[in-house]
RNA sequence: CGGGGUGUAGCAUAGUGGUAGUGUACUCGGUUUGGGACCGAGUGGUCCGGGUUCGAUUCCCGGCUCCCCGACCA
């Protein structure tokens, strides 16, 4: 992508109404646009990051047998009335509207009920099970107070997966496999070190659910954890009973502010019973399906990554989700030879599938460098008369500022792979 | 939802009961060219409704917005 044609704009100053680090940086760097409190648009750079996070998540969900689908944003009132979750006194984040033709609809804040309802059409026998489906869906929640930039909005993208099994044994196997898959997602984003599988409230179904909590001051949760024993407990369920059950004492735990980047639930057979979703077993008896629910906040993850990986100059993207791998910066001035060479390098990268952002703009070096730092691509390659004369190219690692001077051949080797 | 703030140009800010100023961004001209360079010229603004007043961006009332603290958060 040529930066001269890239739709976005960086800015020096942060909007006065943003206090969260992630939103300040993402707006300054031109990744997102704030539409209203808790509602952000994703610009071309931002959507590339989101898509990369989604693709990593997609690969890991597919690897455990998940199949992607997409539910609807508009939801029927009746489905939620059946489980007594339509009323605002039961669920306080509903956005609701009316159909011109008559009748009420809700905007999906969760898809548990609708997906369970849909499954009645497709599951009738133990032979149809198990089923694991997931989606990336924009959730709409009428939060009383949005905060923390893109980390807690009224509109956000979530990956939610649902499992439908004949019984506990199958469910547990999938539940555990998903837990591992989640950790692989976080590992690929570079935040696994600070992400804990955390005991949290299980709601109405089980004693505990598992949250995936990542240490960051921007988080809203408080978790007590022990790295050696690999145990973490959400403050909300920290009590003597929990400690005894997990075989750990209070003084073995340290506290941290965290952001919830995932949450997985075991519904047992209760949820299916509530919505009337059953299968026939081998004897022909109707049995409620054993269900589970698994969520990862995609947009929140993007915010958490920015919170964790940035410096005073801007964002520092992990390679796995950077919008572009390489930021190619030409400092040609009016030197046509340098310009031509940079163009050639850009084309070579493109032809070889390297994701490259090419700063071909006719602006001063300082502006290019500052923008480059702010945008945060993992590698910056500078093509200028200064180094070209020596047959070298300056390669800067954004994460640590390390500068390498590589020949053209070394450059190709590093970025185009060994076979080039 | 309770409490506290806030609203002036795309963004950041100053100021005033009587022609609204600056920085940045943007446009044009010129000089520059490895860390947001300089000089000159220019475009662009008082959240909405009502009230007080000769006159309101300023004061008053209401609304809305956004932010913060709390509450909430499958």
Euclidean distance between CA atoms A104 and A99, whole angstroms? 6
Q: Which nucleotide is nearest to A372 (CA to C1')?
A: B35
> Hey, CA dihedral for A72, A75, A81, A86, is it positive or negative?
positive
Note the CA–C1' distance, A13 to B10, in angstroms. Answer: 12
**ipTM score assigned to the predicted complex:** 0.95
Q: Which nucleotide is nearest to A393 (CA to C1')?
A: B34
Q: Which nucleotide is nearest to A270 (CA to C1')?
A: B74
Euclidean distance between CA atoms A397 and A382, whole angstroms? 12
Which pair of tokens denotes residue A235? 């403050």
- In whole angstroms, how far apart are CA A93 and each of A23, A61, A108, A162, A184? 23, 28, 10, 21, 31
Note the CA–C1' distance, A5 to B23, in angstroms. Answer: 27
Nucleotides in chain B near protein beta carbons (<7 Å): 1-2, 10-13, 23-25, 32-37, 65-74
Q: Which nucleotide is nearest to A373 (CA to C1')?
A: B35
Which pair of tokens denotes residue A358? 């090419």
Helices (H), ranges, A262-335: 270-275, 298-308
Residues β-bridged to residue A234: A223
Residues of chain A with CATH 3.40.50.800: 326-416
Note the CA–C1' distance, A36 to B48, in angstroms. Answer: 17
Give me the half-sphere count of Cα atoms (radius 13 Å) on the Cβ side of residue A29: 30
For residue A289, give the DSSP letter: P
- Cβ neighbours, 10 Å, residue A43: 19
Longest dimension (CA), chain A: 82
Note the CA–C1' distance, A223 to B5, in angstroms. Answer: 31
Residue A375 φ then ψ, to 5°? -70, -35
Per-state percent for chain A, helix, strand, coil, to nearest 5: 35, 30, 35
Instruction: Please report which helix (H) or strand (E) contains residue A54, including its range.
Output: helix A44-63
- Cβ neighbours, 10 Å, residue A350: 13
Note the CA–C1' distance, A148 to B58, in angstroms. Answer: 34
Which pair of tokens denotes residue A257? 């502010």
Reported residue count of chain A is 420
What CATH number has the domain spanning A326-416? 3.40.50.800
Which pair of tokens denotes residue A287? 């049995």
Q: Which residue has the tokens 């008896």?
A: A285
Note the CA–C1' distance, A61 to B55, in angstroms. Answer: 68
Q: Is A21-311 CATH 3.40.190.10? A: no
pTM of the entire structure?
Answer: 0.97
pLDDT of chain A along its 420 residues, tens only? 999 999 999 999 999 999 999 999 999 999 999 999 999 999 999 999 999 999 999 999 999 999 999 999 999 999 999 999 999 999 999 999 999 999 999 999 999 999 999 999 999 999 999 999 999 999 999 999 998 999 999 999 999 999 999 999 999 999 999 999 999 999 999 999 999 999 999 877 788 999 999 999 999 999 999 999 999 999 999 999 999 999 999 999 999 999 999 999 999 999 999 999 999 999 999 999 999 999 999 999 999 999 999 999 999 999 999 999 999 999 998 899 999 999 999 999 999 999 999 999 999 999 999 999 999 999 999 999 988 989 999 999 999 999 999 999 999 999 997 544
* Closest residue by C-alpha to C1' distance, nucleotide B74: A203
pLDDT of the residue at A420: 47
Q: Which nucleotide is nearest to A332 (CA to C1')?
A: B33
- In whole angstroms, how far apart are CA A82 and each of A32, A85, A111? 38, 8, 14
Euclidean distance between CA atoms A54 and A51, whole angstroms? 5
Note the CA–C1' distance, A145 to B6, in angstroms. Answer: 16
pLDDT of the residue at A129: 98
Note the CA–C1' distance, A16 to B19, in angstroms. Answer: 30
Helices (H), ranges, A332-392: 336-351, 365-375, 385-388
* Closest residue by C-alpha to C1' distance, nucleotide B7: A17
pLDDT of the residue at A418: 53
Residues of chain A with CATH 3.30.930.10: 21-311
Q: Which nucleotide is nearest to A334 (CA to C1')?
A: B33
């Amino acid at each position: 992508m040529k930066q001269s044609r890239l739709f976005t704009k960086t800015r020096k100053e942060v909007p006065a109404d943003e206090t969260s680090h992630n939103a300040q940086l993402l707006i300054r760097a031109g990744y997102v646009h704030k539409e209203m409190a808790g509602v952000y648009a994703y610009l071309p750079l931002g959507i590339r990051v989101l898509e990369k996070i989604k693709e990593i998540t997609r690969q890991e969900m597919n690897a455990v047998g998940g199949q992607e689908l997409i539910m609807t944003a508009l939801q029927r009132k009746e489905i939620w009335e059946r489980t007594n979750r339509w009323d605002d006194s039961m669920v306080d984040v509903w956005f609701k509207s009316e159909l011109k033709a008559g009748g009420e609809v809700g905007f999906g804040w969760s898809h548990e009920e609708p997906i369970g309802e849909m499954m009645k059409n497709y599951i009738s026998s133990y032979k149809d099970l198990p089923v694991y489906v997931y989606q990336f869906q924009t959730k709409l929640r009428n939060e009383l107070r949005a905060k923390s930039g893109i980390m807690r909005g009224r509109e956000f993208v979530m990956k939610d997966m649902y499992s439908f099994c004949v019984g506990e044994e199958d469910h547990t196997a999938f539940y555990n496999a998903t837990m591992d898959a989640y950790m692989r997602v976080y590992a690929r984003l570079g935040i696994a070190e600070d992400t804990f599988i955390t005991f949290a409230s299980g709601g109405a179904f089980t004693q505990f659910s598992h949250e995936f909590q990542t240490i960051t001051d921007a988080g809203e949760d408080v978790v007590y954890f022990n790295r050696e024993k690999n145990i973490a407990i959400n403050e909300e369920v920290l009590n003597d009973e929990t400690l005894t059950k997990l075989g750990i004492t209070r003084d073995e735990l340290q506290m941290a502010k965290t952001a919830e980047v995932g949450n997985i639930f075991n519904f047992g057979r209760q949820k299916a019973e509530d919505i009337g979703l059953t299968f026939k077993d081998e004897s022909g008896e109707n049995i409620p399906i054993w269900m589970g629910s698994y969520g990862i906040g995609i947009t929140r993850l993007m915010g958490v990554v920015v919170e964790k990986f940035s410096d005073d100059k801007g964002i520092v993207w992990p390679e796995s989700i950077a919008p572009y791998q390489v930021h190619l910066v030409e400092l040609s001035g009016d030197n046509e030879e340098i310009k031509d060479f940079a163009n050639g390098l850009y084309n070579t990268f493109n032809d070889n599938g390297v994701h490259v952002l090419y700063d071909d703009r006719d602006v001063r070096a300082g502006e290019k460098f500052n923008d480059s730092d702010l945008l945060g691509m993992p590698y910056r390659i500078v093509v200028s008369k200064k180094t070209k004369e020596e047959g070298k190219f300056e390669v800067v690692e954004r994460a640590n500022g390390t500068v390498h001077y590589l020949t053209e051949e070394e450059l190709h080797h590093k970025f185009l792979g060994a076979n080039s």
